[in-house]
A and B are shown apart, each in its own frame.
Chain A
Amino acid sequence: MKLTHIIAGTLGAALLSTTAMAQERGRDGNVNVIYWQAASILNPYLSGGTKDIDASSMVIEPLARYDENGNMVAVLATEIPTPDNGGVSEDLTSITWKLKEGVTWADGSALTAEDVVFTANYCMDPDGGCQQLSKFGGVESVEALDDLTVKITFDGPKPFPYGPFVGSTTPVIQAAQFANCTGEAAPTCTEQNFGPIGTGPFTVTEFRANDTISLAANENYREAGKPAFATLTFKGGGDAASAARSVLETGEFDYAWNLQIAPEILADMEAKGIGTVLSGFGPLVERIMINLTDPSADLGETRSTVANPHPFMSDMAVRQALSMAIDRPLLVEVGYGKAGKVTCNVLPSPAIYDSPNNAGCEVQDIAGANALLDEAGWELGSDGVRAKDGVRLSILYQTSTNAVRQDFQALIKQWWTEIGIETELKNIDAAVFFGGDQSSPDTFQKLFADLEMYANTFDGTDPEAYMGNWACSEIPSPDNAWLGGNMPRFCDPAYDALIVEMGGTADINERARLAIEMNDMLMQSYTIIPLVHRGNVSARANTLEGVKLNVWDSQLWNVADWSRAN
């Protein structure tokens, strides 16, 4: 009896191990992924587009990336270097990465520290037009200490040294393949840019620019039994609605990216029951930026510069009333559904940076806004518009052309009319609005309007650079060719001091305190009016397992773990 048990047990164990053995690479056939923006190139250093970065993340990998919760995980490195484990020097000026042993490129050659050094120099080459150059900001040198050790030295203390080689925007490329592609030659290497040799789970078999990429499992991938799929088709083109339909209704595709369509349509499609809508929230916030300077065209050269304060936006009561009159839950419902949340902060995520001090903006308060304006001396005129000392509260409200944004404009205009503020609406094509064309008066940096609405976010999980946008030095003006991220033209020495302090602080909790304090300064002065915390929406087929929607990194970050449900 006992013996049979033992035998049965052993047999069971043997069976289990054979099933584990059966988990071989490529067992699940083909998987179809649709990105309605087609990938143009597979080299993230020559493209800032999310679609290109995500597509390339299946082929080339960084030293570390962010998981679905925003935590760093080592990919090609053995562990994340920190001051505690000695990977980051005590003076915070250098970081030393150790590469995993035995990692090979898809062509079988070994990954070495020299590849990492080459990649850094490739991007930092001044003639290369590298689009991820900001990730290498402050890098003084990158050197290989031995075959598996890379040391990155910064020109000063870097409390958050995880810019280069963390996240899919800065993967390691193969030195041997790109050797003749540095500097001015970078864009001419079509073959390399369309088919980089990588360490990732897939390799490119055919690249059709702006259309389809065919990929196959990388035979030299370092993890046994992964990826589960033998081939992957990455189709591009069309629009978000038809991408959603191909996963949720027709079942032709297994994963669809970025489905920003009307919430009720998406819910209808999901009701068919063959796919699931996923949403995740990064730091993307739809916000109104108030212009604290005078945008009047009469001012000529000094239009929208700090030389002339705004005639009425410089009054905090007006800004506060504008914010109080907005019904944020309704905006979320109308524009984003599952893909949006109300936020009262411009920095709502990751959770440790989310300030608890500004709650209350969820509730619309028209009466309160009216009372506030009355108190501040803005009297309602016979035309229904408030005025004080001959200055009428009449504003120009601009944003980019986008159906949801125009809905928002119409709703907000209505609420502002109720508090005696006249609003003129304007929308500008996104390529012009966000394009830095110096000759166009309609760029979001010039802000020749009283306020503007758009969404912004930051890469990775560290908000230091993002919060640094509102330093005095970041104010766009003719002197700096209208460059800089400080659209409201906000300038407060106390805020600048906090930025400097954050630049010298490595402790994560202390950094969170500083970021929250900066966020509160912007919120409580009503310089920026946050509207909606926007999420990413994607869809997967119910037969596709292992998908974890990641808003901190490429959505295809764990494609090696995807498999087909039985």
Chain B
Amino acid sequence: MLNYTLRRLMFTIPTLLLISFIIFIILDMAPNDPTGNLPLTIPPEVREKIRASLGLDSPMYIRYLLWCQQFFINEPLNLFNQWFGWCVGDCEGRLRVTSWATRSPVVDLIAERMPQTLWVVGMSYVVGILIAVPIGVISAYKQYSWFDQIGTLISMIGFSVPTFFTGVLLIVIFSVWMPNDSVFWLPSIYDTTLKVVDWSSFVQQMRQMAMPVMVLALFNAAQISRYMRASMLDNLSQDYVRTARAKGLKEKSVLLVHVLRNSMIPVVTVIALGIPQVFGGAIITEQIFKVNGLGQLLIIGIQGADIPLVQTLTFLFAVLIVLFNLVADILYGFLDPRIRYE
């Protein structure tokens, strides 16, 4: 197993390098211009100078190598320096990956966005799983019962109604129609500067998270509960279930120990593969509730042709996807003793 993991890890290095190069080429070929969104009153000569100051006048491969150097060498060294206080090389003048729009290091921007994305999108994932697993189990156990029918309906709604609809609907109900002094009134705009220090600020944080988390949780729960239900149904008709029942085991332990455990194998994989999406943020939901996490950062970068920012973010997503694929594969081996990687 360890051998396999190490081999897979080694293999990710060339994969990720290739991915970073492809992302760079695609971004470079995109007919976009960082000065395109500036007011038309800025004359073309000035635009030329701005482009030159961003380093856009040097050839593609030089810009790529520069990014590689900044991202793979300078940024880790800088992190090292910040965490341990040890300085390797030129700590002050080291060139970091810098956003064109904010002129600040991209990695700092990402670190600043991480908390709200993890809170909101991560929490919605957890809530989604907590809702989805019981629904999936009960739906499968009582197939075609009214519970199953309603569960199916809700999953269909969660699947097919886009978050930009449910989000705005919730805002209209809880922020617009609800009187401002009601306990059920919820803020439609997320305050990223809120710091949780006491009970009242904690309540405030919960209130501002309520709507975006619910919107996303509905979407996630819909997906996972369908997998859970299908996987449970597969297992319920297996011979080992009949054997367990014939042995006289209690229905509870048949269902929750034998069937559930076996059914979780594919679901755990689906959940693990979905985790990179949590870091990717939820572009639309973040935009609606102004959570301003990683998703919103990416979309602003794309709109403003902020190539270093988009490149770095997209690459980090690629890293997460590759890593969690590996995690899913390894988890598979742990959960199902029949699977062995040699």
A431 contacts B by Cβ under 8 Å: yes
| Contact for B36 among A130, A209, A436, CB less than 8 A | A436
A sample of 20 more A-B contacts (CB under 8 A), given A50-B39, A253-B189, is: A40-B99, A40-B300, A41-B104, A47-B101, A48-B35, A187-B103, A193-B104, A209-B104, A209-B109, A210-B297, A235-B191, A238-B288, A242-B290, A245-B171, A246-B189, A250-B180, A431-B305, A436-B44, A436-B51, A437-B31
Q: Please tell me if the beta carbons of A134 and B290 are within 8 angstroms of each other in the complex.
A: no
| Alpha-carbon distance between A237 and B51 when the two chains are bound, in angstroms | 26
Cβ-based interface call for A194 (8 A):
yes
Residues in A neighbouring B50, C-beta threshold 8 A: 129, 131
Interface residues of A (CB under 8 A from B): 34, 38, 40-41, 43, 46-50, 126-131, 133-134, 184, 187-190, 193-194, 206, 208-212, 214, 233, 235-239, 242, 245-246, 249-253, 429-437, 439-440, 442, 445, 456-459, 481, 483-485
Least Cβ distance of A456 to chain B in Å? 5
Chain A facing B: main interface SS: loop
Do A432 and B36 have beta carbons less than 8 Å apart? yes
Contacts A/B (CB < 8 Å), 7 sampled: A130-B49, A206-B193, A210-B101, A237-B296, A430-B36, A431-B305, A437-B33
In angstroms, Cα B34 to Cα A230, docked, is: 36
Chain B contacts for A235, CB-based, 8 A: 189, 191, 290
Q: Give the residues in chain B near A134, CB-CB below 8 Å.
A: 41-43, 46
Chain B residues numbered 24-75 whose CB sits less than 8 Å from any CB in chain A: 31-54
If A126-B49, A134-B43, A251-B180 touch, whether A435 touches B192 (CB-CB below 8 Å) is no
Give bound CA distance, A73 to B215, whole Å: 49
Assess whether B37 is in contact with A434, with CB atoms less than 8 Å apart. yes
Chain A hits for B45, CB < 8 A = 483
Report if A457-B193 is in contact (Cβ < 8 Å); known contacts: A245-B188, A252-B188. no
Quick check: B38 and A233 within 8 Å, CB to CB? no
Q: In this complex, what residue of A is CB-closest to B47?
A: A436
A41 to B300 alpha-carbon distance, docked (Å): 13
Contact of B37 among A133, A253, A430 (CB under 8 A): A430
| Cβ < 8 Å to A, chain B residues 103-137 | 103-105, 108-109, 112-113
Set B31, B49, B53: member contacting A442, Cβ < 8 A? B31
B31 touches A233 (CB 8 A): no
B-side contacts of A190, CB under 8 Å = 102-105, 108
Smallest CB-CB separation from A457: which chain B residue?
Answer: B41
Q: B40 — nearest CB in chain A belongs to which residue?
A: A456
Alpha-carbon distance between A483 and B43 when the two chains are bound, in angstroms: 9
Residues of B close to A481: CB separation below 8 A? 44
Q: Which residues of A contact B48 (CB under 8 A)?
A: 436, 483
Contact B40 A210 (CB under 8 A): no
Known: A208-B193, A434-B36, A440-B31. A48 touches B42 (CB 8 A): yes
Nearest B residue to A437, CB-CB: B33
In the complex the two chains form, is B101's CB within 8 Å of A211's CB? no
Q: How far is the CA of A40 from the CA of B300 in the complex (A)?
A: 10
Cβ-based interface call for B176 (8 A): yes
In the complex, which residues of chain A have a beta carbon less than 8 angstroms from the beta carbon of B180?
Answer: 250-251
| A431 contacts B102, C-beta separation under 8 Å | no
A435/B41 in contact, CB under 8 A: no
A124 to chain B, nearest CB (A): 11
B266 located at the interface, meaning its Cβ lies under 8 Å from any Cβ of chain A in the complex: no
